[in-house]
Chains A and B, each alone.
Chain A
């Protein structure tokens, strides 16, 4: 039996899904977090059921991709759990009535966010609603787990409604239902209400936006650096190094296995950033350099997501993105991309038209470095001063603007307009933040670390087989004459197809000047997405558009490397 979880965007379907099935999924306080439907299993009354978390829909008219998915899924469903945001009954009942009349499946209605209705002075008579709709109604608070047991207990009471078609227009019918089941009590404005107002109204909204962004960067840096200085580096220096030196002595320097596992020693000591061995650099890059920033970035992102700030940032940046052929909601793939380009590429689905998908995906792949890469850029450039890290980000931001403007002019079609429901602010729930953080860290360790190790192994093999030397010879003219870099940089460019963080790390042993490092890391950011992102983009854009996108990436890289080389040389860096 198939059970569908259906409801408007951002009503808590994914949280409820997690509660019912135990399957962990990412949930946030903005519409469109779930772009792919997810499956899980649950048991009730000794029946095994498959539960599907359907992306949010406003209607069954199938105007968007998410709605089309929903309509297709209904055909094969055994019953539907319709989740309603109890604080916004009127809006949500629209889909409920459509489901009751068009889906022709047993339905049970869940009034979620029940706890919030009390704070908001909303009183809903659940029994009356049940009577009027003709299907069971259960109140829950998915975040805390309240009411979930009752829901599971009542699932088999789900039934087809006998509700007749009304002569009234749909919204009037809904209005009548709401009037008879809901009472509103007056309440005073809370601090969150005031904050909600000032973060949407200019000019304060710009001040709030700037404060949030600067504060976020600051906190990410403090936590990231703190973890490195006080946790990860001491661990590597005091606990891990002595152990590795013993292994090194056992394998003996100069042997093949020593080269593979430990890499090159620097004056009898291990330099984790340069040795390029599997258990030295291979462990230090993901755990000692990248993981601390992954932790700090996703902590801050989770707070912003659950608090509900991101849709407001979308409104704030709407006009800016409009010039790039997109609208403000493009901020979602861009910000997710700052963590990892893969979820960023998936979030491109928030856009409907081919043109918008293409522009959003190309801009994200070129101008948004993932956290793993950013952490390495900080590791490589940071010691020369924060301003050089800033230069790289300024170049990328300018690229976003320039390329977006060009694509918007050259590609036929118009910029779409934003149409977005802005969710209320919610105080982040520390339990769900930590859970989400834990999932994302787990995802990084499971998916990224094996690739990093593969990357390091590949470096050694490619050097051993002299493949890198061969390509260095072929691409030497571009690399040396156009970009002013030594031809050995090709090794990093090759490995960058696999993992960008390893690639940035490979620049270190080359003994580059500051100028060459800046040009090098910038080129590595824009020239091509990593393998994982590339695979997702191929699927989302199709091969033809992907080829076009890659051509834009490569030509941009050649030009930017050249221009940056000249500017930095003239600037005396």
Chain B
């Protein structure tokens, strides 16, 4: 169980929980980022950098602050 920004690049992981307020949770939910889905991290320049994930066929970029609130389990 680690936060998304600590996940290594090119690793897939399952989203366990999102420790954020309802506002951010909703925005992530709209993009399909929710508990139970499997995502693949594409970039990880550092734990403070911008995170890009692959979700289905699309790619989504998110700030490191947001990524730190997404708790995942590597699969």
Contacts and interface: CB of A to CB of B under 8 A. Distances in A.
A417 B60 CA distance: 13
Interface in B17-70: 23, 26-32, 34, 37, 42-43, 45, 49-50, 52, 56-66
B55 to A, nearest CB: 8
Interface string A410-436: 000000111111111000000000000
A328 B50 contact: yes
Nearest to B63: A417
What's the interface size class on A, roughly? 20 to 34
Contacts, number: 87
Contacts of A61: 26, 30
A200 B58 contact: no
Contacts of B52: 200, 315, 422
A420 B58 contact: no
B50 A315 contact: yes
Given A59-B30, A417-B66, A319 B49 contact: yes
B2 interface: no
Contacts of A311: 61
Interface string A307-344: 00001001100110010000110000000000000000
A311 B62 CA distance: 12
Given A171-B34, A417-B65, A417-B66, A200 B59 contact: yes
B58 to A, nearest CB: 6
B16 interface: no
A352 B36 CA distance: 29
Contact of A318 (B28, B29, B59, B63): B63
A193 B65 CA distance: 28
A91 B58 CA distance: 9
Nearest to A200: B52
A201 B10 CA distance: 10
A266 B66 CA distance: 64
A397 B32 CA distance: 37
Nearest to B28: A419
Contact of A91 (B50, B56, B66): B56
Contacts of B58: 88, 91, 421-424
Given A58-B31, A88-B56, A418-B63, A319 B50 contact: yes
A87 interface: yes
A97 B11 CA distance: 32
Given A63-B26, A200-B43, A422-B52, A91 B31 contact: yes
B26 A421 contact: no
Given A88-B56, A200-B52, A201-B9, A315 B61 contact: yes
Nearest to A205: B43
Interface in A45-63: 58-59, 61, 63
A94 B37 CA distance: 15
Nearest to A184: B57
Nearest to B9: A201
Nearest to A311: B61
A123 interface: no
Contacts of B56: 88, 90-91
Contacts of B62: 417-420
Interface in A193-214: 196-197, 200-202, 205
B42 A201 contact: yes
Contacts of B31: 58, 91, 419, 421
A358 B42 CA distance: 33
A57 to B, nearest CB: 9
Nearest to A98: B30
17 contacts: A58-B31, A88-B56, A91-B58, A94-B32, A171-B34, A196-B59, A314-B61, A315-B61, A318-B50, A328-B50, A417-B62, A419-B27, A420-B60, A421-B31, A422-B52, A422-B60, A422-B61
